[in-house]
Copies of this chain bind each other. A is one copy, B any other.
Amino acid sequence: MNTIKTYIKNNKERFLNELIDLLKIPSISADSAYKKEVLNTADFVLKSLKNAGCEKVELCETPGYPIIYGEKIIDKSLPTVLVYGHYDVQPADPIDLWTSPPFEPVIKETAIHPEGAIFARGACDDKGQMYMHVKALEYMTSTGNLPCNVKFMIEGEEEVGSESLAWFVPRNTEKLANDVILISDTGMIANNIPSITTGLRGLSYVEVEVTGPNRDLHSGLYGGAVANPINILTKMIASLHDENNHITIPNFYDNVEELSVDERAEMAKAPFSLENYKKALDIDAVYGEKGYSTNERNSIRPTLDVNGIWGGYTGEGAKTVIASKAYAKISMRLVPNQDWKEITALFKNHFESIAPKSVKVVVKPHHGGQGYVTPIDNIAYKAASKAYETTFGKTPIPQRSGGSIPIVALFEQELKSKTILMGFGLNSDAIHSPNEHFGVWNYLKGIETIPYFYQYFTEMSSEK
């Protein structure tokens, strides 16, 4: 299968240009102002799958944005790989921190990516990583190297909670039947340290609203005598962590999996420099739950972060006002066994219970998803590991990620199949941040590695 290297070499410019065209469409699912662009992106993906060799492609309507489905079935007795990805992206703000416009992709060299990286919102998460699969399929179909059946399911609401996918999957279990689900929406440790993500955190995302007086008030005439909803909100949020940075919501930790000493020792072996970490973020100290290392804090431990807060006068100058309302968006990352709906309910009950009588509090759940741990003793993991070995020349390290792909747990439940997370991005790729990018080397390495997974997975399945 050495032809893949040649194929990539001959088609590199086209592969990059096609991805750049895809990145130009601002498919921001969180903001309804971009509805048309999200739909245009769905069409783009549909055509790409058709061009890459899918024999059947469908734009599947849902209560929200459509899901793009594609398949190429070569022999029903062979295994089937289901590729999942998403065509929507995070909002681009704060826009002014981007060094080039988020939807005008450019390739620039960086210290970590001397061969250049594509800068654009969605470059890594997930358009770039999703499109690797489309191009790997193109290679396999056009050169007669597709060893098994393949299905694609690409959604448009991953960044806002995958609600339509959760609606779609249980209604289409037969169509989506597969032997393994393959996703590239995670990262690896470094370009010379390949890794496979074996755990994902779950998520519960809520919005809170605190209402004090029925109108904005003059802070001189009322200050000190009336509950200020911003002061109250800060007090309520602050109380959600104790002095050791444990979360104080009752029963929050009830189902948290506690790793053994051995497991933690194994985790601690992953290459990590605290100095480089702090330097990359320009911080003097890390901060987190007492008793856990940085890598533990952002992978095996649950968290509670305010993602946005607002209230009162935020313009130029000064206004002496007591606002009527204050708001925050709060998300909790969860670990396997924590049920996101249960956690959302615990949060809501607790947050409402700590509100003083002088304000009214509304907690509005946004969305959520379960955490997930993938086994490393099945053939999907073994095939993926061997694929990395072939193209990277190194055995990949299994690694828990702090991120969430809420839908993975649902796939297991509804489709009864395991997911394998072959990510080719890096943590430094700034996903969800200004100046998101994806290494050109990583993009092409992904395209190179994926066909080997198909080959090894098919071979190992037949040996069972």
- Residues of A whose CB lies within 8 Å of any CB of B are 29-32, 90-91, 93-94, 97, 159-161, 187, 201, 203, 205, 207, 212-228, 230-235, 237-239, 241, 281-289, 294-295, 297-298, 301-323, 326-329, 331, 333, 356-359, 366-367, 401-404, 427, 430-435
27 contacts between A and B (CB under 8 A): A29-B317, A97-B216, A203-B320, A205-B320, A213-B282, A214-B282, A215-B434, A218-B431, A219-B305, A219-B307, A220-B333, A223-B305, A223-B331, A224-B302, A225-B286, A225-B287, A226-B283, A230-B307, A232-B287, A233-B309, A235-B238, A307-B320, A308-B314, A308-B319, A310-B311, A314-B329, A320-B331
One of B32, B215, B318, B432 near A218 (C-beta < 8 A): B432
Which chain B residue has the least Cβ–Cβ distance from A230? B306
| A452 to B159 CA separation, bound complex (whole angstroms) | 69
- Nearest-neighbour CB distance to chain B for A133, whole angstroms, equals 22
| A91 to B318 CA separation, bound complex (whole angstroms) | 9
- Nearest-neighbour CB distance to chain B for A154, whole angstroms, equals 20
Q: Cβ of B321 and Cβ of A432 under 8 Å apart?
A: yes
One of B358, B402, B435 near A287 (C-beta < 8 A): B358
Which residues of B lie under 8 Å from residue A220 when comparing CB positions?
201, 203, 298, 333, 401-404
| A358 to B285 CA separation, bound complex (whole angstroms) | 4
| A94 to B323 CA separation, bound complex (whole angstroms) | 10
**How many of these chains are in the complex?**
2
Which residues of B lie under 8 Å from residue A241 when comparing CB positions?
231, 235
| A140 to B230 CA separation, bound complex (whole angstroms) | 48
Which chain B residue has the least Cβ–Cβ distance from A367? B318
Which residues of B lie under 8 Å from residue A302 when comparing CB positions?
224
- Nearest-neighbour CB distance to chain B for A336, whole angstroms, equals 14
Q: Cβ of A222 and Cβ of B402 under 8 Å apart?
A: yes
Which residues of B lie under 8 Å from residue A219 when comparing CB positions?
303, 305, 307, 331, 333, 432
One of B90, B287, B328 near A226 (C-beta < 8 A): B287
One of B205, B311, B313, B435 near A91 (C-beta < 8 A): B313
- Nearest-neighbour CB distance to chain B for A48, whole angstroms, equals 26
- Nearest-neighbour CB distance to chain B for A93, whole angstroms, equals 7
| A9 to B95 CA separation, bound complex (whole angstroms) | 58
Which residues of B lie under 8 Å from residue A223 when comparing CB positions?
298, 303, 305, 331, 333, 402
Q: Cβ of A215 and Cβ of B309 under 8 Å apart?
A: no
| A329 to B93 CA separation, bound complex (whole angstroms) | 22
| A314 to B435 CA separation, bound complex (whole angstroms) | 20
Which chain B residue has the least Cβ–Cβ distance from A200? B220
Q: Cβ of B318 and Cβ of A226 under 8 Å apart?
A: no
- Nearest-neighbour CB distance to chain B for A71, whole angstroms, equals 30
| A297 to B316 CA separation, bound complex (whole angstroms) | 29
- Nearest-neighbour CB distance to chain B for A340, whole angstroms, equals 13
Which chain B residue has the least Cβ–Cβ distance from A322? B305
- Nearest-neighbour CB distance to chain B for A65, whole angstroms, equals 13
One of B297, B319, B434 near A225 (C-beta < 8 A): B297
- Nearest-neighbour CB distance to chain B for A74, whole angstroms, equals 36
| A323 to B91 CA separation, bound complex (whole angstroms) | 13
| A282 to B217 CA separation, bound complex (whole angstroms) | 12
Which residues of B lie under 8 Å from residue A359 when comparing CB positions?
283, 287
Q: Cβ of B313 and Cβ of A329 under 8 Å apart?
A: yes
Residue of A226, A237, A304 with highest tally of chain B CB at under 10 A = A226
Q: Cβ of B315 and Cβ of A93 under 8 Å apart?
A: yes
Which residues of B lie under 8 Å from residue A307 when comparing CB positions?
219, 230, 312-313, 318-323
The answer to whether A309 and B308 touch (CB under 8 A), given A31-B317, A331-B318, is no
Q: Cβ of B216 and Cβ of A434 under 8 Å apart?
A: yes
Which residues of B lie under 8 Å from residue A321 when comparing CB positions?
90, 307-308, 432-433
Which residues of B lie under 8 Å from residue A239 when comparing CB positions?
238
Which residues of B lie under 8 Å from residue A91 when comparing CB positions?
313, 315, 317, 319
Q: Cβ of B228 and Cβ of A305 under 8 Å apart?
A: yes
- Nearest-neighbour CB distance to chain B for A414, whole angstroms, equals 23
Q: Cβ of B314 and Cβ of A225 under 8 Å apart?
A: no
| A237 to B233 CA separation, bound complex (whole angstroms) | 10
Q: Cβ of B283 and Cβ of A358 under 8 Å apart?
A: yes
Q: Cβ of B30 and Cβ of A427 under 8 Å apart?
A: no
| A225 to B222 CA separation, bound complex (whole angstroms) | 40
